[in-house]
Homo-oligomer: A and B are copies of this chain.
């Protein structure tokens, strides 16, 4: 049984999704779409990606098979992707997603090429996590059809997907995409206004600010701050999120606590000194084996592997506890 359900664009009766960019993220998105029984028309602007993309996607499909995500043989899924240099392949797609490098001019050039081929009702998305949707949007012929689509890695084995409206995005189109994303096996979120940092990042920046302020004041160590999230927050966050937890414990309790504590929280607007000092010595984290922690080469490798494995466990765990209540509240912008 396939858990995915197809959502059709009222204007384009096709099951084809276009992709431009077949790097790490692009191939991973392609795999997700194939798994959801969509046809994929993929453009590889970089020749080396063109060479390796199919192999990469095949590998991811076999990985998905090992995770129990397939309903038919890998070869059947692979039939549904066409990789090309030719943008005219995108003409029937109801949606085209760009996932190339974070370069403004390159992206805009790609949007122009896409718009020259697709139907006027087709939606155009970007996977950017750094450039404001509203500023990219200015360079489209039909800016209302342009939407941010922020995937988590690996796209085919995570349930997160953030849909971001720019100032000129048509909310109806964003909502259509929101529903479509459910047919990709996602629990999508919608950011109605294009804010810097999107949702998750923005909330986590607040955590970093407060955590690093506690560290700076020698109130708690980096290790202990991490343990609080690993073992305390981690024991409920993937079930309840932050606000369902608030309902669970009691609004009255949190109201008292916030009243007492908000005035004590950090309001710092500058980069915490500990980060500035690390950058000074080019300590970038696991990549350079030195960051807030230090790592041996073996430990660095261990983190890569553990993350892939853990992420898979959480994906399956999340599927056991679906976000089932109050889906009637998913009427964004009403």
Kindly state whether residue A70 has any CB partner on chain B within 8 Å.
no
Kindly state whether residue A254 has any CB partner on chain B within 8 Å.
yes
Q: Interface majority SS on A: helix, strand, loop or mixed? A: helix
The verdict on A258 contacting B204 (CB below 8 Å), with A238-B230, A306-B321 known, is no
B190 contacts A236, C-beta separation under 8 Å: no
Q: Which residue of B lies closest to A296 (CB)?
A: B325
In Å, the complex CA distance between A210 and B83 comes to 42
A242 contacts B193, C-beta separation under 8 Å: no
A193 contacts B209, C-beta separation under 8 Å: no
The verdict on A311 contacting B203 (CB below 8 Å), with A221-B329, A227-B241, A326-B223 known, is no
For the complex, count residues of A whose C-beta is within 8 A of B.
Answer: 115
The verdict on A235 contacting B325 (CB below 8 Å), with A197-B257, A269-B262, A292-B251 known, is no
In Å, the complex CA distance between A202 and B217 comes to 14
Question: What residues of chain B lie closer than 8 Å to A190, measured between beta carbons?
Answer: 220-221, 224
Kindly state whether residue A225 has any CB partner on chain B within 8 Å.
yes
Name the contact of A258 in the complex, choosing from B209, B233, B243 (C-beta under 8 A): B209
Residue-wise, chain A 182-195 has the 8 Å CB interface mask toward B (1 for contact) of: 00000111111101
Question: What residues of chain B lie closer than 8 Å to A222, measured between beta carbons?
Answer: 243
B275 contacts A270, C-beta separation under 8 Å: no
In Å, the complex CA distance between A238 and B306 comes to 11
Q: Which residue of B lies closest to A329 (CB)?
A: B223
Question: What residues of chain B lie closer than 8 Å to A269, measured between beta carbons?
Answer: 262-263
In Å, the complex CA distance between A315 and B311 comes to 16
Q: Which residue of B lies closest to A304 (CB)?
A: B248
Residue-wise, chain A 261-273 has the 8 Å CB interface mask toward B (1 for contact) of: 1111111111110
Question: What residues of chain B lie closer than 8 Å to A243, measured between beta carbons?
Answer: 211, 222, 225-226, 292-293
B326 contacts A317, C-beta separation under 8 Å: no
The verdict on A306 contacting B275 (CB below 8 Å), with A203-B211, A219-B195, A234-B314 known, is no
A205 contacts B329, C-beta separation under 8 Å: no
Kindly state whether residue A279 has any CB partner on chain B within 8 Å.
yes
Closest 6 pairs (CB-CB, A-B): A226-B241, A234-B238, A247-B285, A247-B291, A189-B224, A206-B210
